[in-house]
């Protein structure tokens, strides 16, 4: 079980929660960086070909870093809190860690952003987040997941 939620919490701010069967982490992020796009792209790249990807969430001045490592059909996920986006991983505090099947990770991220657009609509998302909804990145992840499922069932 993996659950990811994204709730717009104010002008240019969002609350994100990630949880598995063992633990949960909550974080806040700012629109000053392309946070949803980076997360969607990191997971898609992991499914397509890369063995390690990252996505940073800005919190002004601190940052959160997602580190994804693909190991066969599974993904090791680490979430770090860092002094700022330029900080090295070793300067961070580990907030949450999990190991999930790659398909489970992709499904959780897709469901999260499907729920975001269903909840706020594109105009509401744009108004609150100050950026357009990341359709391209969401569809790229959806396509990568379809391809992953096709190759694992053959």
Convert the pLDDT of each residue in 84-119 to its tens digit.
988 999 999 999 999 999 999 999 999 999 999 999
Domain span at 25: 2-153
Residue 154 has pLDDT above 80, yes or no: no
Which pLDDT value is given to residue 151? 83
Q: What is this structure's pTM?
A: 0.95
Q: What mean pLDDT, rounded, does the chain reach?
A: 95
User: Residue 137 is part of a domain; what is its CATH number?
Assistant: 3.30.2450
| Total domains, the chain | 1
Three-class secondary structure assignment of the chain? CEEEEEEEEECCEEEEEEEECCCEEEEEEECCCCHHHHHHHHHHHHHHCCCEEEEEEECCCCEEEEEEEEECCEEEEEEEEECCCCCCHHHCEEEEEEEEEHHHHHHHHHHHHHHHHHHHHHHHHHHHHCCCCCHHHHHHHHHHHHHHHHHHHC
Q: What percent of the chain is predicted at pLDDT more than 90?
A: 88
Query: What does the pLDDT average to over 36-63?
Result: 95
């Amino acid at each position: 079980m993996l659950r990811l939620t994204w709730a717009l919490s104010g002008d240019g701010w969002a609350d994100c929660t990630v949880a598995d069967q063992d633990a949960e982490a909550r974080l806040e992020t700012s629109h000053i960086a392309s946070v949803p796009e980076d997360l969607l792209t990191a997971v898609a790249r992991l499914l397509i070909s890369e063995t390690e990807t990252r996505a940073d969430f800005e919190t002004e001045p601190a940052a959160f870093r997602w580190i994804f490592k693909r190991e066969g059909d599974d993904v090791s996920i680490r979430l770090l809190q860092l002094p700022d986006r330029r900080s090295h991983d070793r300067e961070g505090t580990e907030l949450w860690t999990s190991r999930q099947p790659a398909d489970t990770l992709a499904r959780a991220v897709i469901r999260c952003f499907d729920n975001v657009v269903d909840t706020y609509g594109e105009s509401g998302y744009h108004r609150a987040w100050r950026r357009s909804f990341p359709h391209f990145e969401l569809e790229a992840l959806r396509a990568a997941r379809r391809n992953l499922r096709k190759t694992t069932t053959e």
